[in-house]
Structure 1
């Protein structure tokens, strides 16, 4: 794995051992296992409910049982019980989608359509609410697991996203208090099967996010859980390369609804639990835009400033 674009003093990780998966502390180029005594909590989510970062900071500089990072196989750094996703949340991305639709019949020039779309987005930001839907936590894996492309489609797509990791339980919290419920941040690549997004048998039903987004391994996460005190989520570069070619390159400063708005909005319906993931949306540059979808042998390198880099390898599903 790589920790490029990671500069925090430490981060939480989970790594594979002969006995399964263990929680660990990453500091520099080395990793140490974390016991419940080290955490002062029974496990990861219990720790995130009331994270004591000073406790981990002290461990990051002591002479514990450290291993070289190169000798460790990292996996997903989180164990969410709930996974929420945010749609249409990058201003420029949504504007371009609207422009593409409005210019098809020739009644508006691209500039007219862009101005119209920008006004819609600005009004939505002032008076609207975030758009949420749910994913299955069972789809969360590390980038140590190849992404198996289901054989029932040839239009599997990427969507790199900043993911919020919930700390203290959040239920109907205000925007002003929302950041107090964020434990940290990680990377998630939200894989989508495009030809399953809209139902063909009954168009009135609309979107089918269950079938389009929840195949095994469709939420590659991590490799790091970086504590919130080390991250300013307001202006982070989000970048995805496909086989070395840049496909997505944007900033979280373009989010229509920022982190406090998302946490507050999502918490109004159901309590957000420690360790849950709240994805913030994906910027422009997915496969649908490029008319290029994932294939056997593709390698996606996704990075978010300050959160490291994940490398996801794609393999075709074996048809039996």
Structure 2
């Protein structure tokens, strides 16, 4: 049983947003949700019974004008959001995840993950981390790795904390949703390939981030980040034109009602355009793919409080709505 949002329709910027929905007895379908919380089945509206959100994004440039017209019309008939289940808004083929992209967050992690034999004062270790961040920014070297689509779950679904995950943590992130194939695009043109934005909570088991059996291997993102349900996504894809500048959006995550993360994207080291362009230099980004842009300060390692059975996370980003996720411990 998932935890429902507090209200029928969490607000988003612009006249409409996009989501994937299902009725009690029916398949998933892509829908347009308006400001009144009414959902239009886009399979019917666009005369495509087999349409999926990824299929819609594959023809984003052509379909966007139609979506604008549909949003401003009272036809065809819509359904109240309360009658529908909200699923993850898109099934991506690829997930590009950005690490160490919020200055204060990285400094906090650098302090929290200190080596057992590092007895330097905290101020010295923070200064060291700040110097590393300044050097990365100057050298223009974002950090991007790959996540698995099987980790994606809906914005209101329960998340099972695996029995082996000793230190499960939260990481609220702004996500760029790709709307055109992008390969080796420049920073200046990168945002032309972004259809819209959504929310992800990039859950991480801190205990398995680093390989302790062979430290020289480094990080183990498969183990620490890709359990089923470890990427709650959505609720909506809000068109990029409705968000505009992503340089000052507020990311807020509450744990059982207490604010844990509350930071602006101004603290990013590399902005959205830089992350999309960087990922595209190696990979070919496809419509529906996700580019997660990193998480701000305020994770569980910083607070000394990790996720446990029964915890409820409320996560929101300016203009993108909100998600609510309950944690359940895996049964032995």
Q: TM-score, normalised by structure 1?
A: 0.92
Unpaired segments ≥5 residues, structure 2: none
After superposition, the Cα gap between the structure-2 partners of 1:4 and 1:46, relative to the gap in structure 1 and judged at 3 Å, is closer
Of residues 115, 119, 136, the one that matches 1:105 is: 119
Aligned residue pairs total 317
After superposition, the Cα gap between the structure-2 partners of 1:68 and 1:145, relative to the gap in structure 1 and judged at 3 Å, is same
Of residues 248, 255, 263, the one that matches 1:250 is: 263
Partner of 1:45: 54
Of residues 71, 76, 88, the one that matches 1:64 is: 76
- Equivalent runs, 1:203-222 vs 2, <5 Å: 203-222=215-234
Partner of 2:152: 140
Bigger mean CA deviation after superposition, 157-166 or 34-43: 34-43
After superposition, the Cα gap between the structure-2 partners of 1:124 and 1:36, relative to the gap in structure 1 and judged at 3 Å, is farther
- Equivalent runs, 1:216-235 vs 2, <5 Å: 216-231=228-243, 232-235=245-248
What CA distance in whole angstroms lies between the structure 1 residues aligned with 2:154 and 2:89? 8
Partner of 1:35: 43
Aligned-residue offset at 1:116: 5.1
Partner of 1:197: 209
RMSD: 2.2
- Give every structure 1 segment of 4 or more consecutive aligned residues whose post-TM-superposition deviation is greater than 6 Å: none
Of residues 33, 55, 74, the one that matches 1:26 is: 33
Partner of 1:289: 302
Partner of 1:54: 65
Partner of 2:96: 84
The alignment partner of 1:138 has SS state of: helix
Matched, 1:12 2:25: no
Aligned-residue offset at 1:36: 6.8
Q: TM-score, normalised by structure 2?
A: 0.89
Bigger mean CA deviation after superposition, 143-152 or 303-312: 143-152
After superposition, the Cα gap between the structure-2 partners of 1:282 and 1:54, relative to the gap in structure 1 and judged at 3 Å, is same
Aligned-residue offset at 1:113: 5.5
Unpaired segments ≥5 residues, structure 1: none
